[in-house]
Amino acid sequence: MTASDSDTKQQATAPSNFIRNMINQDLESGKHGGRVHTRFPPEPNGYLHIGHAKSICLNFSLAQEYQGQCNLRFDDTNPAKESQEFVDSIKDNIRWLGFSWSGEVRYSSSYFDALYDFAVQLINSGKAYVCSLSAEQAREFRGTLTEPGKNSPDRDRTIAENLDLFARMKAGEFPDGAYSLRAKIDMASPNINMRDPVLYRIRHIHHHQTGDKWCIYPTYDYTHCISDAIEGITHSLCTLEFEDHRPLYDWILHNLELSSLRAVSDLADSQYDYVLPEQTEFAKLKLNYTVVGKRTLREMVEEGIVDGWDDPRMPTLAGMRRRGFTPASIRNFCESVGVARAESVVDLGMLEHAIRDDLDKHAPRAMCVLNPLKVTLTTFAEDHLEELTMSNHPKEESLGERTVPLTREIVIDRSDFEEVPPPGFKRLTAGGEVRLRGAYVIRCDEVIKDASGEVTELLCSVDLDTLGKKPEGRKVKGVIHWVSASQGVAAQVRLYDRLFSVEKPEGKDVDYRECLNPDSLQLLENCVVEPAVLKSASSNFQFEREGYFCFDAVDSTAERPVFNRTITLRDSWSGN
């Protein structure tokens, strides 16, 4: 199948979901002039994780699928929590995932001037007022879930007065919290977001993009809808908790002059009809055995429960990347999970399947012995050195071949030998035969043990007539991997497993610290990997019969490579 065939097939089988259905309808009705323009709008206040990946894939893939555009916009309206470091890592993560945003990176902060003008417009039309209530007072006036709120005493300030006060807020005449700009909507609304929400607050604080130009900052609710409108976004996708904000999103946009919105928008000079963006909500991605809460992740880093934001056990994009997850596997996973409005918890197994599926197709095979047991092939002379040619992949010929040196002394994994094998054991036993992967069938003639009775070495004879052919007159079922003792390279291997041993480490009344899986990291210091691995162009491998591994980009050195286990192979042998 060619690339384009598979693309076509993927499109044909792209699962139906309520957002695609909505877009299809919009396209049919011509609502946005046939345009599809989405955006991914993170606040640069932390590292991206698997949950963000779903949103990224959704927004960017939809744009691709409909030949539309997808912007990257930093929603940077609260400088107290944000930094350039996060801006940079987010951009890096999105590129790594394989997506390109439309045009330049956008910042809500670059619309601050326009946002200010629109606020003045709302004041002029009597839709906004400057309020002197403190945060605490405002809370009291807001009412409760079941009781209506009370109007602010400043609600009927004159337009002239509001204009003057707002200008002075901007000019820096007042301290933080002295005043706020509020929309004049309805203090009795059953939707608390509509009870005269704050549009601007005073914050004398440096902003990572705008420096010290501003001391008043617009709120999310006020900024997001206008930013969408300015960028000509058609479909503004966000998560479920913003559902109650949608009426406010619409209120703000509908109470501004459409022509003035259009005038400052990216569509100002286009031939398209100017249509306001619409918000649509979908359920967040949740994974069992996983925590994505910002506070929790930070604590785990700060308390040393993990080794940093890019610890391979972390659900961050940086962590998954270091773990060896491929961008395609994460994209496929997000696609397979679907998009719906029902809150759900996806099984980690689905993510693992996506990783295996991608790596199985693309990762070159190699051999690495994790827990070495010395085997001497007595049939060979001391200086025996045979260069065996092995293909890098059982099906994908384009991955090429490599040579694997075979010598008299090799190592195999300790778990591949049992003196008294359990029922069904297919590996090497005392007196039994086994195939060395890609090489000969050997027979274990002698088991050497130390004083404590531990097996230290196996003496085996080689059936020279079994290279590339089946042995005559008998069946040898088992195949085990091996590495030349002298030609192999010493390596450290890190075996990673899920961080938590319970399904819902973030649940109510659950302390995640008590749910940690004590075996989430196992360090193996004496591993031996075949030499070809170090010369490979790939950084992801399948170490045959062990799992998928990748070079650890941070801790590997020239003399001592470090490998991270990305994921084990499926293992249907219950005796293991």
Partner RNA sequence: UGGGGUGUCGCCAAGUGGUAAGGCACAAGGUUUUGAUCCUUGCAUGCGUUGGUUCGAAUCCAGCCACCCCAGCCA
* Listed residue (333, 216, 231) closest to 277, CA to CA: 231
Total residues interacting with RNA, rule: CB under 7 A = 95
CB of 15 to RNA, least distance (A): 6
CB of 304 to RNA, least distance (A): 26
The verdict on 226 binding RNA (CB under 7 A) reads no
| Rounded Cα gap, residues 60 and 71, in angstroms | 8
* Listed residue (48, 50, 22, 49) closest to 36, CA to CA: 22
Q: Which is nearer to RNA, 223 or 306 (CB)?
A: 223
Which H, E and C letters describe 31-93, residue by residue?
A: CCCCCCEEEECCCCCCCCEHHHHHHHHHHHHHHHHCCCEEEEEECCCCHHHCCHHHHHHHHHH
Contact pick of 9, 95, 139, 206 for RNA (by CB under 7 A):
139
Q: Which is nearer to RNA, 266 or 544 (CB)?
A: 544
Interface characters, 440-469, with RNA (x: CB under 7 A): --------------------------xxxx
Half-sphere exposure of 290 (CA within 13 A, CB side): 22
The verdict on 146 binding RNA (CB under 7 A) reads yes
Contact pick of 59, 77, 326, 484 for RNA (by CB under 7 A):
77
* Listed residue (101, 103, 98) closest to 42, CA to CA: 101
| Rounded Cα gap, residues 288 and 276, in angstroms | 38
Contact pick of 106, 170, 545, 565 for RNA (by CB under 7 A):
545
CB of 78 to RNA, least distance (A): 4
Window 479-538: residues binding RNA (CB under 7 A)? 479, 508
Window 243-262: residues binding RNA (CB under 7 A)? 243-245
Contact pick of 142, 157, 331, 402 for RNA (by CB under 7 A):
142
Q: Which residues of 188-201 are buried (b: 16+ CB within 10 A; e: fewer)?
A: ebeeebbbbbbbbb
Q: Which residues 6+ apart lie within 8 Å of 133 measured at CB?
A: 141, 152, 153, 154, 180
CB of 180 to RNA, least distance (A): 4
Please report, as a single letter, which amino acid is at residue 330: I
Q: Measuring CA to CA, how many Å separate 467 from each of 140, 213, 238, 407, 433? A: 84, 75, 59, 15, 14
| Rounded Cα gap, residues 340 and 319, in angstroms | 27
CB of 395 to RNA, least distance (A): 7
Half-sphere exposure of 396 (CA within 13 A, CB side): 13
Q: Which of these ranges, 83-91, 119-127, 389-397, 451-459, lies near RNA under the rule CB under 7 A?
A: 389-397
Query: What angle separates helix 159-171 from helix 112-124, to the nearest 10 degrees?
Result: 160
The verdict on 343 binding RNA (CB under 7 A) reads yes
The verdict on 145 binding RNA (CB under 7 A) reads yes
Contact pick of 135, 171, 385, 554 for RNA (by CB under 7 A):
135
CB of 278 to RNA, least distance (A): 14
* Listed residue (367, 434, 435) closest to 402, CA to CA: 367
Strand-pairing partners, residue 84, are none
Q: Which is nearer to RNA, 120 or 476 (CB)?
A: 476
Q: Which of these ranges, 74-82, 162-170, 447-455, 515-523, lies near RNA under the rule CB under 7 A?
A: 74-82
Contact pick of 95, 213, 254, 341 for RNA (by CB under 7 A):
341
* 478 within 8 A of 426, measured Cβ to Cβ: yes
Sign of dihedral through CA atoms 241, 246, 252, 258? Answer: positive
* Listed residue (8, 39, 38, 36) closest to 23, CA to CA: 36
CB of 131 to RNA, least distance (A): 7
Q: What is the DSSP string of 91-136?
A: HHHHHHHT---SSS-EEGGGGHHHHHHHHHHHHHTTSEEEE---HH
Contact pick of 312, 315, 324, 438 for RNA (by CB under 7 A):
438
CB of 311 to RNA, least distance (A): 24
Q: Which is nearer to RNA, 304 or 473 (CB)?
A: 473
Window 300-339: residues binding RNA (CB under 7 A)? 336-339
Contact pick of 38, 69, 78, 492 for RNA (by CB under 7 A):
78
CB of 271 to RNA, least distance (A): 32
Window 155-214: residues binding RNA (CB under 7 A)? 176-177, 179-180, 190-193, 197-198, 201-202
Window 345-364: residues binding RNA (CB under 7 A)? 345-347, 349-350, 352-353, 356-357, 360
Q: Which is nearer to RNA, 55 or 69 (CB)?
A: 55
